[in-house]
Amino acid sequence: MAGSRMQPQWQRFGFFWPLLLVGWLGGCALAPGLVMEPGSEEQGDVAFIPITDRLVYALSEEEKRKPSVPQELLEENGHPYRIGVNDSLMVTFWGVPEMMPNLPTVQVGGQDISQPVGTQVVQADGTIFVPYVGAIAVAGLTEGEARDKITAALKPILQSPQVDVSVVKFDSRHVTITGALAKPGRVALTRKPLTLAEAFGAAGGLTPQADASRVSLVRGDRIYQIDLDALQPLAGRVLLRDGDRVHVPTTEDKKIFVMGEVSKPTVIRYGRKSISLMEALGEANGVRQDTASGREIYVIRAFDSHMQTARVVYRLEAASASKLALAGSFPLEPQDIVFVGPAQITRWNRLVSSFFPSLLFLTTADNLQN
């Protein structure tokens, strides 16, 4: 109207300012982004636990009590090699040239020595062929036991038979090495006991992607977890048995996720046993000094191996240097999420930033109308 006075713009949008005030007062709840609600007690099905000196000490003592390798593996003794199917044997008859009439003999110490015809492979039924005797079962015997058995079988036929038996190709007993190795596969057992360290050497060694802290050894119905990083001085004492299966996993699933108010949100892959919360924050180039809250550093864990429970959130209030030092002693687990929350002023600034586009829209619309 011609005689009307134009209402000030701030009055025309008076309804908006109470909303802005409510947003200011409740900025923590309305601000965009993830907001944690910490507490010392279990909330719903999630347990919030503060990271304290007592907790860090308890975790450290628990870790010390864990053996790097089960004691029974260190107590394993070597056993004589037992002949098996597919092994190749060389059988020599001393001083009995008629056992091999078509072969030349040699003189050793005044005795004729009959030379063997190549080697014999132990058949599927566990036997080899011996002249004048026929098939003799040798599977499951040591070289000495096989020698004595053949000698006893020849005594009714020959006077003072002297026999030597040796395995020239070992192909019946193996361990299987799989996972992050240069040449995974089967490793044959020989008359010399095979150690875990030697088995890895035969398989070409670990690859750069190997997770040496989570090696598994399957023996029968038992599964042993071995930390090679801690085992190094003892790796030569762990003897393997026929049928053992050793697996070295990769670090592909061993990740830590660092997000929130950090300089470089990142995914950390690591091969050693564990990394600390401080190391994870360091990999993310530290917390952002301009936006982060030192009182809101969280470790979100889907399953906690120490507490044997699911859905645990640890909170570190790193408002002081002594509290921040705890981060260097708090161990992380695979798949942990490290989240650094924003400071209160950061939440408020983000809330205001989210309101201004709406205010600008209303102002523009009013200007167009007039």
Q: Which two tokens stand for residue 145?
A: 């036991």
Question: Which residues are registered as beta bridge partners of 206?
Answer: 181
In the prediction, which pLDDT does 305 show? 63
Q: Which two tokens stand for residue 355?
A: 């309101």
In the prediction, which pLDDT does 257 show? 93
DSSP structure class, residue 88 = E
CA 353 remoteness from chain centre: 45
Residue 141 near residue 89 (C-beta atoms within 8 A): no
Residues whose CB falls within 8 Å of the CB of residue 14, separated by 6 or more in sequence, listed in order: none
- Tell me the DSSP string of 226-287: E-HHHHGGGGGG-B--TT-EEEE-BSTT-EEEEEESBSS-EEEE--SS--BHHHHHHHTT-B
In the prediction, which pLDDT does 158 show? 80
**Distance between CA atoms of residues 30 and 53, nearest Å:** 34
Q: Which two tokens stand for residue 163?
A: 């026999």
Q: Is residue 92 classed as helix, strand or coil in its secondary structure? A: strand
Half-sphere exposure of 165 (CA within 13 A, CB side): 27
Termini Cα distance of the chain: 12
In the prediction, which pLDDT does 106 show? 47
Q: Is residue 132 classed as helix, strand or coil in its secondary structure? A: coil
In the prediction, which pLDDT does 115 show? 46
Q: Is residue 109 classed as helix, strand or coil in its secondary structure? A: coil
Residue 341 near residue 297 (C-beta atoms within 8 A): yes
Tens of pLDDT, residue by residue over 138-156, are 999 999 999 999 999 988 8
Exposed e or buried b for every residue in 178-203, given b needs 16+ CB within 10 A?
A: ebbbeebeebebeeebbbbbbbbebb
In the prediction, which pLDDT does 122 show? 94
Q: Which helix (H) or strand (E) holds 297?
A: strand 292-304
Half-sphere exposure of 247 (CA within 13 A, CB side): 8
DSSP structure class, residue 168 = E
In the prediction, which pLDDT does 263 show? 92
**Distance between CA atoms of residues 154 and 336, nearest Å:** 70
Q: Which two tokens stand for residue 26?
A: 């409740």
- DSSP-derived pairing of the beta strands 134-137 and 215-219: unpaired
Q: Which two tokens stand for residue 251?
A: 């670090």
Low-confidence ranges of the chain (pLDDT < 70): 1-45, 66-69, 95-118, 232-235, 304-310, 344-370
